[in-house]
Amino acid sequence: MAEYTPMIKQYLTIKADYKDAFLFFRLGDFYEMFFEDAINASQILEITLTARDGGTNDKIPMCGVPYHAAAGYIEQLVNQGHKVAIAEQTEDPKQAKGVVKREVIQLITPGTVMEGKNLLEKENNFLASVTSFSDDSFGFALTDLTTGENRVSLLSFHFDDVIGEIYANGVKEVVVSSDFDDKYRKALIERCSVTLSYEDNCTIANQFEQLIQGLEDEKMVLTYGRLLNYLMKTQKRSLDHLQEVRIFHTNQFMKIDLYSKRNLELTETIRSKGKKGSLLWLLDQTVTAMGGRLLKQWIDRPLLNKSEIESRHNMVQTFIEHYFERLELRDQLKGVYDLERLAGRVAYGNVNARDLLQLKKSLEQVPGIYHLVTQLKHPYATNLAKQMDLCESLTELLQHSIKESPPLSIKEGDIIKDGFNATLDQYRDASRNGKTWIASLEKQEREKTGIKSLKIGYNRVFGYYIEVSKANLQFLPEGMYERKQTLSNAERFITPELKEKETLILEAEEKIVQLEYDLFIDIREQVKGYIPRLQALAKVISELDVLQCFATISEERHYCKPQFSEEQLFIKDGRHPVVEKVMQAQEYVPNDCVMQQGQALLLITGPNMSGKSTYMRQIALTSILAQIGCFVPAREAVLPIYDQVFTRIGAADDLISGQSTFMVEMLEAKNALVNATSKSLLLFDEIGRGTSTYDGMALAQAIIEHIHQQIGAHTLFSTHYHELTDLETKLENVKNIHVSAIEENDNVVFLHKVKEGAADKSYGIHVAKLAELPDSLIERAKEILGQLEQTEKEVAVSSEESERSVEPADNLQLSFFGETKASYKMGDKQVTSKEKDALKSIKEMDILGLTPLEAINKLYELQKQLKG
């Protein structure tokens, strides 16, 4: 049987180690792919599939991309979640015996790309590793290879927490052990669409010991070790810029699970999945890329520690009060490039002179920033200033060494300034002198020969030459001039003298280029020594940037500084920060919200489109804004510090997962109910929608009762089941509110104003009318509604037990009153506070402890109370 050629054998040997990657196999000026890789890549990249002989009878499928254009193709593959292994020739083909040696020099994966369009300035590119432990907990580690940031946390028991972290950090690739549980793998791939990678070695190599010195336990070390070993294996180069691993205790931050984050549109919108329209988009007034990334991290992790939160608020206040200083700071920050990523690329050895120039310009801003920050005379600011390392010696080095507009390439010279290196200056002198000599030669030769048009030129092939036009050739003396090149109407000559100078000049230039390259590499090595200091500086600058951003947005949008209280939530004239911004001509209607400790469940009714969801979300967003340290969209706000925020929406409203089944709705509800504490904020938006009316209503009521009795968390519960408003009378801490609307000429007008009491009815048909459904259809719907209401009324009347407060038809009229009337008064059906008190005392009655007479007296009293 025929065998593969030695080269194909080599290919197959390398490929065996990189089964899950496209192997880019260097062949001359191309990277070639073979077999399956070739077939798949040719489709994805839309390049031609060919075939070549490989020693066997069948031809081998092959496709390739030119070496110089490979970056774009690699990016395309990696963007789609694939990995690319780059196999280079690792010996000089001229010296090779047999097949040239090839080795994989780097594995590029979605989580480890260092450059390209896919790396957004204001976003981290995190690679994660997950380890599951036998006690059901999970270790979770993150690295951003571009910035060197490292983190690790332990997550408890719920794999959903892992998924939440992956989502929040925009992780595209996760490293796990080869025996990682199948159901988790499946969840990672299906729910997070990440690329999975495997690494079983978790031992931290000695050279990285200092990275993990702060880690508290073996689980953390193991989880980070897995990640680190994967990095070493894929990158095969210096990882000097990795920063000390920081621990994130998840209980130090407000917990917002995956669904809630999506639902509140913190960093991306539900519909477009883009940043525009999200809270991040609204807030982002950061000037630097580093600041932009930190802002996103802060939004993902609101604080719980009151004094930490307040010190951010105070700093924001200071920035608001120091308007001009803030403007100046913003100006200075504009001159600061991405120090973190620059440092990463320095470590990687792929910076050029322009990058170092950016570094220099950034560092030149730092003294000004330092000065400004100290001027604020605020403890937070002073503390930040103290941490600012001006890296003056580095600034000086760069100022003296790097030219102002260097070329992209570091191999062509023209990078290093005069005066930086004596030898370089000498070569340059030699080269310059030679050039001056040649320039003067032209004049001499003209005089000598009397040929006025004689000129001296240079080209790469022939070097320096003397050019004489054909007409003037006769005037050229014999002997000295050696003919080099003939053009159509001129001849070019050289002379021994000219040749000699040329050699000098070219030698000098060659030396200059080589020396400049060496000097540059040396400077780059020196910069490497500054990496940790640059990273520390980057941290301070990004923090300043986010805080000035909070001040800028708070001032621009008239936010107020929130206060904190353990007892209550009190928001005066609160607004939804994003809806308010995107509404153009119309005015956003501000709304209050009050939740006492004892009166913690607001049941929200109101027609479709009246603003229930918006109102609920604005409360959650206000709390989140407050806890990340920003001011809040309200006239006045007193807030508890919430440990968790949950938002749950009925399946019919759930546009997020695309799997809007009732099961999902219930699973999410369960998660909230299991995890919430009395210090949490719960939003339930039309829960129970995904099933039939009675089912849904029953569940909704049971959920309310559960929250009321078991959890006691501040809760906003919107519902389209009017029947539930009756719960106010049964459950002490339930309070009805509604978003008001009025009818004018059979049209509904939304006032978006939140008021006490329950809404009178739903206005679905009116909304349909607004949406301009056909008139005949609207009429028919009204007819059907009439019939349904009639039936309901009959049912209600016939059932003496019925406690459901279905609106009697005659009450409908009441809903047409104007907005000025206290619209939460709902006719007789409304429970008065007297009734509530009476019910309360009945509830609290110790019946077994009463004598019959006492009982009768009590009853009498109650009746009197109710009548009077």
Residues of this chain that interact with ligand ADP (CB under 6 A) are 579, 588-589, 591, 606, 608-614, 752
We find the least distance from the C-beta atom of residue 703 to ligand ADP, in angstroms, to be 18
Binder of residue 129, out of Mg ion, ligand ADP, none (CB less than 5 to 8 A by kind): none
C-beta closer to Mg ion: residue 613 or 680: 613
Phi and psi at 579, nearest 5°, equal -60, -40
Binder of residue 606, out of Mg ion, ligand ADP, none (CB less than 5 to 8 A by kind): ligand ADP
We find the least distance from the C-beta atom of residue 269 to ligand ADP, in angstroms, to be 13
3-state secondary structure of 682: strand
Binder of residue 25, out of Mg ion, ligand ADP, none (CB less than 5 to 8 A by kind): none
Residue nearest to ligand ADP (CB): 611
We find the least distance from the C-beta atom of residue 613 to Mg ion, in angstroms, to be 3
Report the candidate in 444, 437, 447 with the shortest Cα–Cα distance to residue 501. 437
We find the least distance from the C-beta atom of residue 668 to ligand ADP, in angstroms, to be 18
C-beta closer to ligand ADP: residue 245 or 621: 621
We find the least distance from the C-beta atom of residue 190 to ligand ADP, in angstroms, to be 30
Q: Check if the beta carbon of residue 532 is closer than 8 Å to that of residue 243.
A: yes
What DSSP designation does 587 have? Answer: P
Burial of 763 (0-12, 13-18, 19+ CB in 10 A): buried
Question: For the chain, how many helices (H) and strands (E)?
Answer: 28, 27
C-beta closer to ligand ADP: residue 492 or 720: 720
Cβ of 771: how many Cβ atoms within 10 Å?
9
We find the least distance from the C-beta atom of residue 718 to Mg ion, in angstroms, to be 7
Binder of residue 431, out of Mg ion, ligand ADP, none (CB less than 5 to 8 A by kind): none
C-beta closer to Mg ion: residue 223 or 613: 613
The site that binds Mg ion (CB under 5 A) totals a number of residues, namely 1
Report the candidate in 351, 350, 345, 363 with the shortest Cα–Cα distance to residue 400. 363
Binder of residue 752, out of ligand ADP, Mg ion, none (CB less than 5 to 8 A by kind): ligand ADP
Cβ of 702: how many Cβ atoms within 10 Å?
11
Binding residues for Mg ion restricted to 491-550, rule: CB under 5 A: none
We find the least distance from the C-beta atom of residue 685 to Mg ion, in angstroms, to be 6
C-beta closer to ligand ADP: residue 592 or 732: 592
Q: d(Cα 734, Cα 698) in Å, to the nearest integer?
A: 17
C-beta closer to ligand ADP: residue 535 or 613: 613
We find the least distance from the C-beta atom of residue 361 to ligand ADP, in angstroms, to be 44
C-beta closer to ligand ADP: residue 267 or 591: 591
Cβ of 746: how many Cβ atoms within 10 Å?
10
Q: Check if the beta carbon of residue 75 is closer than 8 Å to that of residue 113.
A: yes
Residue with tokens 């073996």: 218
Q: Check if the beta carbon of residue 388 is closer than 8 Å to that of residue 537.
A: yes
We find the least distance from the C-beta atom of residue 579 to ligand ADP, in angstroms, to be 5
Binder of residue 104, out of Mg ion, ligand ADP, none (CB less than 5 to 8 A by kind): none
Q: State in Å, rounded, how far the first CA of the chain is from the last one.
A: 108
Report strand pairing: 149-155 vs 681-685: unpaired
Q: d(Cα 199, Cα 179) in Å, to the nearest integer?
A: 10
C-beta closer to Mg ion: residue 530 or 615: 615
C-beta closer to Mg ion: residue 395 or 614: 614
Binder of residue 579, out of Mg ion, ligand ADP, none (CB less than 5 to 8 A by kind): ligand ADP
Binder of residue 733, out of Mg ion, ligand ADP, none (CB less than 5 to 8 A by kind): none
Nearest-5° Cα angle at 163, 671 to 167 = 115
- Which stretch of DSSP H or E encloses residue 453? none
Strand partners, 637: 571
- Which stretch of DSSP H or E encloses residue 394? helix 392-401
Q: Which amino acid is at 607?
A: P
Stretch 581-620: interaction string toward Mg ion, x if CB under 5 A = --------------------------------x-------
Residues that bind Mg ion (CB under 5 A): 613
